[in-house]
């Protein structure tokens, strides 16, 4: 996509394993680039200032809030959104665990919550409940009380470790 | 595919869960439109001011602006109980944050820029923020500015009982027995004051609305609203349309908790849409705007009780509800929390006054519990003080006093299916607290103690308002459930699907529950008051039974048997003669050449509800059902710093019948967490000019994963004779007792009563210091 404006820059990045090259305004937020340019609507806007975590994606494997990162800052990086976790439309084990453990209610925080958990499990495959709580402390949920979310992440780690 | 029974009492996966974990659920912010315009709203910087002039001509300098509206462009008033609210402020503003003008433009940046071109001339006037003062009830401040001088001229519902010449938009009264006599005969009388400040719903999804005046003459609105039919009727009245011209479509909701029950900013977006050439206009709120859109009430409560021989014999209470600049549902909150105000106790002499009072603060509305968390904070902290004075264990004191089946309530209702005692017994057993033998605090050293506290609560739902539903079984065998109850995360669509599975034997995977849409799904009063399972659920259950009866009739025709001999088995219709199963589709096709849809209809239309007498608050059947909840909190208190660590909450709710036990536990865990948030952490802060100071999640903190203790949800089932399968509602009751249970655990350690929530370390420390000073003075 071309966007001809003075304050634009070309960025090259991988989004959900697909190579992209776009010329984007320098004031375009990564969240808007993902939602509006690439139609990745799992990225939710809950606060716009990095407090709620609903827009969390993985940037080079690390969970970040995409509403306070500019698209140009993601140049050269690899981004994964929730859409990228489900290979060929098949749910990942983590998504299945969220579903099976009842960790989903209104679902608005769910994409960001799962991405944070995915980032944590990539870094720390056997987290304790305390470590999970700390990792998702930046993802606000008003429905669940978090218990079932923590259970879902613990369960995923357990299943993965059994497979290893 | 192997058949799995996923009916009532089972815990199948949430039917909307897969789209949610895949990120495919569509909320208002995700919907896409051609020719979309974005709206932005200019709000008042003053809590109280006259508008002398508004000049909007500058907006047209900004490229891409398509429409602008001010209060002078839109006639009419709206409001849930009192029609006191203009779509945009006209001659005066009544709170800082009130919409004054709005712009629609081709993008948000242009709309925001255009707002800076609007000139408004204000003349600031005196504001009032304290509800007791605004009510004219403070001895030293009897003269207060009136927010609505023509209060008595407004159209209003019967439940709003305004006081002429005051800021009181409703005064609810309850009178039972003779409190004065009972006080004079009591062993002791205790009088206290409590306060709960404003807090916020904090749905993670901020409000979003899209409105379009369609070419064919209909108004179509997509919004994250909990009550499509209330909105439809309000918009029709405001904009001169008939009900069948207003189409309200509700996509997936990102939480509600009461903040989305009544119309709030939808009329404003419609006003803008009317000024465009049939283009859709979208308003997506920022988090700060969402904090100002609507809030929970603040409340000051006075409570006085008389106790004789260990029984509460009299209770007198007054509540000043800060409903903000417009009434919204304030009068109903005062009334509905009013008739439950004395708590889940059998008390023969009761006198209550609840005032819903205008103040120059943002509009307050329903909040999960409808005032119950506030009044529970007051009466449950108070109950522990009573037990202490009576020298009785607080758990035993509650067991001795709680209301039971067959008792007469404070409004004169003969109570049925009461699970209050059951909830207390369930938490007591789980926590290892023998009634009468409260465990002493455990000294952990260094001024830290671990202790237990208990609290309980009840909540009425609302009157028997109707709900309709249809269940449409298509020849293919798939099912569509049409019901307008909104699934905002509580899982009602799964509950409805389970009911259909229960009645028809059709597997859950074949059942889809429609998004509410007033052009498609039939009437439902509101998604509020924990009424979804009870009322909309009854309608769905009846519709499913009706559909199944029709299938039985076709079965009788095809199999040559009597209808009642036709049974379902593993999703198929069984031929009683051969024992062979036939798919529903094949059955329909064999019965009716060319096929038809089977459409089952159902309604919840219970009779026998009563109002409440205007002077005495008496009425034999004010609510369709009651909910009961009790919590025991295990808390670690650091007496040196005031720091609290809630270790465990044992939380019981009487659900009547758990249609889906996992959903029930989710409601309890989420409700307890919310209760702990508002009771221990959350408070909206306003400066001396009524301007919000903490309208964001870094200054207004809600519980995160690290703040939540272990919650042990316990389901008590005392079946309700009118509930579907015996079910009651559940959503709201778990919120009330959590924070009071914590406060009571802390009190056992410190002996210092904290009156005002939230119970934050600094507040506790402060109360403690004050208490110590008071002790020294005595």
Interface contact B205-A108, CB threshold 8 A = yes
Which ranges of B152-227 would DSSP assign to H, the alpha helix? 179-185
* CA of B145 vs chain A CAs: smallest distance (Å): 36
How many residues make up chain B in this entry?
Answer: 778
Among chain B residues, the shortest Cα distance to A95 is held by B21
Residues A75 and A117 grouped into a single domain = no
In which region does residue B255 sit, left (phi positive, over 0), alpha (psi from -120 to 50) or beta (all else)? left
Give me the number of domains chain A comprises. 2
- Residue B2's pLDDT is 60
Burial class (CB within 10 angstroms; exposed 0-12, middle 13-18, buried 19+) of B432: exposed
- Rounded distance, CA B363 to CA B32, Å? 30
Question: Which of A84, A116, A131 is the C-terminal boundary of a domain?
Answer: A84
**Nearest Cα to B533, choosing from B647, B659, B363, B447?**
B659
Residue A3 lies in a domain: no
Among chain B residues, the shortest Cα distance to A108 is held by B254
Residues B574 and B667 grouped into a single domain = no
pLDDT bin (cut points 50, 70, 90) of residue B476 is: confident
**Nearest Cα to B17, choosing from B401, B540, B494, B382?**
B494
Among chain A residues, the shortest Cα distance to B284 is held by A45
Q: Is the pLDDT of residue A1 over 70?
A: no
| pLDDT tens digits, one per residue of B639-695 | 888 899 999 999 999 999 999 999 999 999 999 999 999 999 999 999 999 999 999
Residue A134 lies in a domain: yes
Give me the number of domains chain B comprises. 3
Burial class (CB within 10 angstroms; exposed 0-12, middle 13-18, buried 19+) of B697: buried
- Which member of B17, B205, B662 has the closest CB to residue A46? B205
Q: Is the pLDDT of residue B467 over 90?
A: yes
- Which member of B25, B287, B711 has the closest CB to residue A107? B25
Interface contact A137-B704, CB threshold 8 A = yes
Domain CATH number, residue B433: 3.30.365.10
Structure tokens at B423: 């909830």
E strands, B418-478, are 442-445, 448-460, 467-473
Residues A75 and A105 grouped into a single domain = no
Q: Is B730 helix (H, G, I), strand (E, B) or coil?
A: coil
- Calculate the CA dihedral of residues B587, B589, B595, B596 and round it to 10 degrees: -10
In which region does residue B361 sit, left (phi positive, over 0), alpha (psi from -120 to 50) or beta (all else)? beta
Residues A33 and A97 grouped into a single domain = no
Residue A149 lies in a domain: yes
Residues B91 and B219 grouped into a single domain = yes
Burial class (CB within 10 angstroms; exposed 0-12, middle 13-18, buried 19+) of B514: middle
Residues B470 and B403 grouped into a single domain = no
- Rounded distance, CA A37 to CA B227, Å? 33
Which ranges of B391-440 would DSSP assign to H, the alpha helix? 394-401, 420-431
Question: Which of A55, A84, A113 is the C-terminal boundary of a domain?
Answer: A84
- Residue B175's pLDDT is 98
Q: Is the pLDDT of residue B167 over 50?
A: yes
**Which chain B residues are within 8 Å of A107, Cβ to Cβ?**
16-17, 19-21, 25, 252, 254, 489
Count CB-CB contacts under 10 A for residue B241: 17
Please give the backbone phi and psi of residue B512, each rounded to the nearest 5 degrees, phi first: -120, 135
Under DSSP, the state recorded for A116 is H
Residue B345 lies in a domain: no
Average pLDDT, chain B: 95
| pLDDT tens digits, one per residue of B97-144 | 999 999 999 999 999 999 999 999 999 999 999 999 999 998 888 789
Rg of chain A, C-alpha, whole Å: 16
Residue A39 lies in a domain: yes
B23-32, B310-319, B359-368, B766-775: least confident range:
B766-775
**Domain limits at A103?**
93-163
E strands, B143-276, are 168-176, 188-196, 208-213, 219-223, 246-249
Q: Is the pLDDT of residue B1 over 50?
A: no
Count CB-CB contacts under 10 A for residue B11: 17
Domain CATH number, residue B217: 3.90.1170.50
Q: Please state the rounded mean pLDDT for residues B730-735.
A: 96
**Nearest Cα to B263, choosing from B311, B296, B229?**
B229
- Residue B772's pLDDT is 67
Interface contact B20-A134, CB threshold 8 A = no
A152-161, B301-310, B592-601: least confident range:
B592-601
Q: Is the pLDDT of residue B777 over 60?
A: no
Q: Is the pLDDT of residue B274 over 70?
A: yes
Question: Which of A84, A117, A132 is the C-terminal boundary of a domain?
Answer: A84
Residues A62 and A17 grouped into a single domain = yes
- Residue B775's pLDDT is 57
Residues B634 and B594 grouped into a single domain = no
Residues A16 and A80 grouped into a single domain = yes
Please give the backbone phi and psi of residue A109, each rounded to the nearest 5 degrees, phi first: -85, -10
Percentage of chain B exceeding pLDDT 90: 91
Residues B406 and B524 grouped into a single domain = no
Residue B689 lies in a domain: yes
Under DSSP, the state recorded for B248 is E
Known catalytic residue at B185: no
Structure tokens at B396: 């035993």
Residues A106 and A154 grouped into a single domain = yes
β-strand pairing of B208-213 with B281-284: antiparallel
Q: Please state the rounded mean pLDDT for residues B604-616.
A: 88
Please give the backbone phi and psi of residue B427, each rounded to the nearest 5 degrees, phi first: -70, -35
Under DSSP, the state recorded for B12 is P
Residues B388 and B518 grouped into a single domain = no
- Rounded distance, CA B255 to CA B732, Å? 14
Residues B599 and B718 grouped into a single domain = no
Domain CATH number, residue A77: 3.10.20.30
Question: Which of B540, B574, B604 is the C-terminal boundary of a domain?
Answer: B604
- Residue A4's pLDDT is 52
**Which chain A residues are within 8 Å of B18, Cβ to Cβ?**
91, 99
What sign does the CA torsion over B674, B675, B679, B685 have? positive
| pLDDT tens digits, one per residue of A58-88 | 999 999 999 999 999 999 999 999 999 998 8
Interface contact B202-A136, CB threshold 8 A = no
What sign does the CA torsion over A38, A39, A41, A45 have? positive
**Domain limits at B736?**
373-458+624-777
- ipTM score of the complex? 0.96
Among chain B residues, the shortest Cα distance to A138 is held by B704
Please indicate if any CB of chain A lies within 8 Å of the CB of B63: no
Q: Is the pLDDT of residue A2 over 50?
A: no
Residues B105 and B235 grouped into a single domain = yes
Residue A1 lies in a domain: no
* Cα B266-B271-B276 angle, rounded to 5 deg: 120
- Calculate the CA dihedral of residues B654, B655, B657, B660 and round it to 10 degrees: -130
Peptide bond into B224 cis (omega under 30): no
Burial class (CB within 10 angstroms; exposed 0-12, middle 13-18, buried 19+) of B694: middle
């Amino acid at each position: 996509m071309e966007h001809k404006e003075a304050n634009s820059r070309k960025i090259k990045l991988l989004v959900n394993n697909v190579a992209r090259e776009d010329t984007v305004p320098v004031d375009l937020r990564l969240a808007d680039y993902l939602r509006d340019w690439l139609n990745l609507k799992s990225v939710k806007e809950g606060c716009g200032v990095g407090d709620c975590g609903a827009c969390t994606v993985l940037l080079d494997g690390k969970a970040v809030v995409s509403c306070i990162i500019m698209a140009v800052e993601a140049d050269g990086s690899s981004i994964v959104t929730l859409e990228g976790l489900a290979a060929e439309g098949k749910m990942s084990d983590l998504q299945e665990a969220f579903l099976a453990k009842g960790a989903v209610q209104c679902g608005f925080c769910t994409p960001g919550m799962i991405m944070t958990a995915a980032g944590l499990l990539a870094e720390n495959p056997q987290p304790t409940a305390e470590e999970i709580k700390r990792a998702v402390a930046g993802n606000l949920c008003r429905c669940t009380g978090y218990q079932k979310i923590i259970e879902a992440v613990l369960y995923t780690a357990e299943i993965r470790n059994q497979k290893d | 595919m192997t058949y799995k029974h996923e009916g009532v009492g089972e815990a199948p996966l949430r039917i909307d869960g897969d789209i949610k974990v895949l990120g495919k659920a569509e909320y208002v912010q995700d919907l896409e439109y051609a020719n979309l315009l974005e709206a932005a709203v200019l709000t008042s910087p003053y809590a109280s001011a006259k508008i002398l002039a508004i000049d909007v001509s500058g907006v047209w300098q900004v490229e891409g602006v398509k429409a602008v509206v001010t209060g002078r462009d839109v006639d009419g008033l709206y409001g849930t109980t009192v029609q006191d609210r203009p779509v945009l402020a006209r001659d005066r503003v009544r709170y800082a944050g009130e919409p004054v003008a709005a712009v629609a433009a081709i993008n948000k940046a242009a709309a925001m820029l255009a707002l800076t071109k609007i000139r408004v001339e204000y003349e600031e006037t005196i504001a009032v923020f304290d509800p007791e003062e605004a009510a004219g009830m403070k001895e030293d401040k009897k003269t207060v500015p009136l927010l609505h001088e023509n209060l008595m001229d407004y159209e209003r519902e019967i439940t709003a009982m305004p006081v002429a010449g005051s800021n009181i938009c409703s005064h609810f009264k309850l009178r039972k027995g003779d409190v004065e006599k009972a006080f004079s005969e009591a062993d002791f009388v205790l009088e206290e004051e409590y306060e709960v400040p404003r807090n916020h719903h904090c749905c993670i999804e901020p409000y979003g609305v899209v409105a379009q005046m369609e070419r064919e003459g209909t108004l179509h609105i997509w919004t994250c609203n909990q009550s499509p039919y209330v909105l439809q009727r309000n918009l029709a009245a405001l904009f001169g349309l008939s009900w069948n011209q207003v189409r309200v479509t509700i996509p997936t909701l990102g939480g509600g908790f009461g903040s989305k029950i009544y119309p709030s900013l939808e009329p404003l977006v419609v006003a803008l849409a009317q000024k465009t050439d049939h283009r859709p206009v979208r308003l997506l709120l920022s988090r700060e705007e969402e904090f100002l859109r609507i809030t929970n009430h603040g409340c000051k409560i006075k409570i006085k009780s008389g106790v004789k021989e260990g029984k509460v014999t009299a209770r007198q209470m007054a509540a000043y509800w800060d409903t903000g600049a417009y009434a919204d549902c304030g009068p109903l909150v005062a009334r509905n929390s009013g008739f439950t105000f004395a708590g889940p106790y059998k008390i023969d002499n009761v006198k209550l006054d609840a005032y819903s009072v205008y103040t120059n603060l943002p509009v307050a509305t329903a909040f999960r519990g409808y005032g119950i968390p506030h009044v529970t904070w007051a009466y449950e902290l108070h109950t522990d003080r009573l037990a202490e004075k009576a020298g009785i264990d607080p758990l035993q004191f509650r067991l001795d006093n709680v209301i039971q089946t067959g008792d007469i309530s404070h409004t004169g209702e003969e109570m049925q299916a009461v699970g209050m005692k059951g909830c207390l017994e369930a938490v007591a057993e789980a926590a290892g607290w023998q009634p009468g033998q409260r465990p002493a605090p455990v000294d952990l050293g260094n001024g830290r103690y671990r202790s237990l506290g208990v609290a309980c609560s009840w909540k009425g739902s609302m009157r028997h308002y109707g709900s309709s539903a249809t269940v449409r079984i298509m020849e293919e065998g798939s099912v569509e459930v049409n019901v307008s109850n909104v699934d905002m995360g509580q899982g009602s669509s799964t509950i409805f699907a389970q009911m259909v599975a229960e009645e028809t034997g059709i597997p859950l995977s074949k059942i889809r529950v429609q998004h509410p849409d007033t052009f498609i799904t039939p009437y439902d009063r509101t998604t509020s008051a924990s009424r979804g399972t009870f009322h909309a659920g009854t309608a769905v259950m009846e519709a499913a039974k009706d559909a199944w009866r029709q299938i039985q009739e076709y079965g009788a025709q095809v199999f040559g048997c009597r209808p009642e001999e036709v049974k379902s088995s593993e999703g198929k219709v069984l031929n009683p003669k051969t024992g062979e199963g036939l798919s529903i589709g094949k059955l329909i096709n064999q019965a009716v050449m060319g096929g038809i849809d089977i459409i089952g209809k159902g309604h919840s239309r219970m009779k026998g509800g009563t109002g409440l007498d205007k002077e005495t608050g008496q009425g034999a059947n004010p609510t369709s059902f009651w909910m009961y909840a009790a919590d025991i909190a295990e808390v670690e208190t650091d007496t040196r710093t005031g720091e609290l660590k809630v270790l465990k909450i044992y939380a019981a709710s009487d659900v009547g019948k758990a249609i889906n036990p996992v959903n029930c536990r989710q409601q309890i865990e989420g409700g307890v967490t919310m209760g702990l948030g508002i009771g221990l952490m959350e408070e909206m802060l306003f400066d001396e000019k009524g301007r919000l100071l903490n309208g964001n999640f870094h200054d207004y903190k809600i519980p995160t994963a690290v703040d939540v203790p272990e919650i042990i949800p316990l389901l008590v089932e005392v079946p309700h004779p009118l509930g579907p399968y015996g079910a009651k509602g559940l959503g709201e009751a778990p919120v009330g007792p959590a924070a009071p249970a914590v406060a009571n655990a802390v009190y056992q350690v410190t002996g210092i009563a904290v009156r005002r929530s939230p119970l934050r370390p600094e507040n506790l420390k402060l109360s403690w210091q004050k208490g110590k000073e008071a002790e020294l003075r005595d």
